[in-house]
């Protein structure tokens, strides 16, 4: 499945399944009865034509439908501590911990970064959208690091334009499984929803263009203390595009999934920390009001540092950033 013009797109791999059963099995968070109602309203098409719920699909057919935005009646400010790296009248830069969801979604309607920001920043609720006030970019729940949030509409427009034009951007530190032999490389591979598992993204022909550049900072062979059976590598990643799960998908695609990533890599983390070893450590942008170039850095979380020390004989490896 992938998204195209706000529609979910599914390609049938094996024929014979009912339309309603197929959609319910491949769309996250919706029931079969919901799908049946959607079909009755003409909201599901097969090869461009509406079909009944009991329609039997054939291999190769394309199913399209749109899912409604999650209904949230009210966003509640919550007194959640924030690691604020910088703040002025226009922007706030936050170092998000691993485990925190950025904005409310089904199953995560509280305890998010947005809930915390609403408590900290007055009048943020009207900026940029009801469910994602001030949010111009995201990082995954189990990824830590820097985000910039707009505090007014002018800042929102400026930051959104900078992200689109790549004037603003982030660099990530990632510990990955296996030892990467080349010193640097580029992964250019299209990303879309996994054709069989909607919770995952994948490299899919015809997906959205995606490019990740990486550079090796340190290698930890399998003989290193605490290293997994195939060793580990610390890399610096720079994105040209901002697709969902991009670094995680691309590194797994070249055979080096992010350490601790139970979705795209090994189910068990052998280095003893929670979450995945992926950290948005550097952020650059131009101030939306003054145009001044700004650069921010966030230190590695303690668990990430502890894993590196374990791999490097008790000391942090030198980082040539």
Q: What is the pLDDT of residues 197-239, one digit of tens each?
A: 767 899 998 888 999 999 999 999 987 666 667 899 999 999 9
Q: Please report, for the domain that includes residue 46, its CATH number.
A: 3.10.290.10
For residue 222, the model assigns a pLDDT of 81
Q: Please report, for the domain that includes residue 240, its CATH number.
A: 3.30.2350.10
**89 shares a domain with 205:** no
Q: SS in 3 state form for the chain?
A: CEEECCEEEEECCCCCCEHHHHHHHHCCCCCHHHHHHHHHCCCEEECCEECCCCCECCCCCEEEECCCCCCCCCCCCCCCCCCEEEECCCEEEEEECCCCCCCCECCECCCCHHHHHHHHCCCHHHCCCCCCCCECCCCCCCCEEEEEEECCHHHHHHHHHHHHHCCCEEEEEEEEECCCCCCEEEEECCEEECCCCCCCEEECCCCECCEEEEEEEEEECCCCCCCCCCCEEEEEEEECCCCCCHHHHHHHHCCCCECCCCCCCCCCCCCCCCCCCEEEEEEEEECCCCCCEEEEECCCCHHHHHHHHHHCCCCCCCCCC
**173 shares a domain with 161:** no
Task: Establish if 71 belongs to a structural domain.
Answer: no
Residue at a domain's end among 106, 131, 165: 165
Catalytic residue annotation: 140
Task: Establish if 74 belongs to a structural domain.
Answer: no
**156 shares a domain with 88:** yes
**234 shares a domain with 197:** yes
**253 shares a domain with 184:** yes
| pTM: predicted TM-score of the whole model, two decimal places | 0.76
**Per-residue pLDDT tens digits for 61-116:** 999 987 665 555 567 899 999 999 999 999 999 999 999 988 776 556 788 999 99
**145 shares a domain with 188:** no
Task: Establish if 75 belongs to a structural domain.
Answer: no
**179 shares a domain with 126:** no
For residue 108, the model assigns a pLDDT of 65
Range of the domain at 219: 169-311
Q: How many domains does the chain have?
A: 3
Task: Establish if 70 belongs to a structural domain.
Answer: no
**161 shares a domain with 184:** no
For residue 1, the model assigns a pLDDT of 42
Task: Establish if 189 belongs to a structural domain.
Answer: yes
- Residue percentage of the chain with pLDDT more than 70: 88
Q: How confident is the model at residue 4 (pLDDT cuts 50, 70, 90)?
A: very low
Residue range 290-317: average pLDDT? 93
Task: Establish if 209 belongs to a structural domain.
Answer: yes
Task: Establish if 79 belongs to a structural domain.
Answer: no
**191 shares a domain with 243:** yes
**151 shares a domain with 102:** yes
**295 shares a domain with 184:** yes
Residue range 147-163: average pLDDT? 92
Task: Establish if 53 belongs to a structural domain.
Answer: yes
Q: How confident is the model at residue 275 (pLDDT cuts 50, 70, 90)?
A: confident
């Amino acid at each position: 499945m992938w998204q195209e013009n706000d529609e979910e797109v599914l390609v049938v791999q094996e024929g014979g399944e009912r339309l309603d059963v197929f959609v319910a099995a491949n769309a996250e968070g919706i029931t079969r009865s919901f799908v049946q109602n959607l079909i009755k309203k003409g909201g599901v098409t097969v090869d461009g034509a509406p079909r009944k719920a009991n329609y039997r699909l054939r291999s190769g057919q394309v199913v399209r439908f749109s899912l409604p935005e999650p209904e949230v009646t009210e966003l509640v400010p919550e007194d959640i501590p924030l690691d604020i790296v910088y703040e002025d009248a226009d922007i706030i830069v936050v170092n998000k911990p691993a485990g925190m969801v950025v904005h409310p979604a089904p199953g995560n309607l509280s305890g998010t970064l947005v809930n915390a920001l609403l408590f900290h920043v007055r009048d943020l609720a009207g900026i940029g959208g009801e469910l994602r006030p001030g949010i111009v970019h995201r990082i995954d729940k189990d990824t830590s690091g820097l985000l910039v949030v707009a505090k007014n509409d002018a800042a929102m427009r400026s930051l959104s334009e900078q992200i689109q034009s790549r004037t603003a951007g982030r660099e990530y530190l990632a510990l990955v499984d296996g030892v990467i032999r080349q010193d640097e490389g580029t992964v250019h591979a299209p990303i879309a929803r996994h054709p069989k598992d909607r919770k995952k993204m994948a490299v899919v022909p015809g997906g959205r263009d995606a490019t990740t550049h990486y550079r090796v900072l340190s290698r930890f062979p399998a003989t290193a203390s605490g290293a997994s059976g195939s060793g580990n590598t610390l890399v610096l990643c720079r994105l040209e595009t901002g697709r969902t799960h991009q670094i995680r998908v691309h590194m797994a695609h070249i055979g080096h999934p992010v350490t601790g990533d139970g979705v795209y890599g090994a189910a068990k983390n052998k280095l003893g920390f929670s979450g995945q070893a992926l950290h948005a450590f550097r952020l650059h942008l131009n101030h939306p009001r003054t145009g001044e170039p700004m650069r921010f850095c966030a230190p590695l979380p303690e668990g990430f540092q502890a894993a590196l020390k374990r791999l490097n004989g008790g000391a942090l490896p030198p980082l040539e950033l």
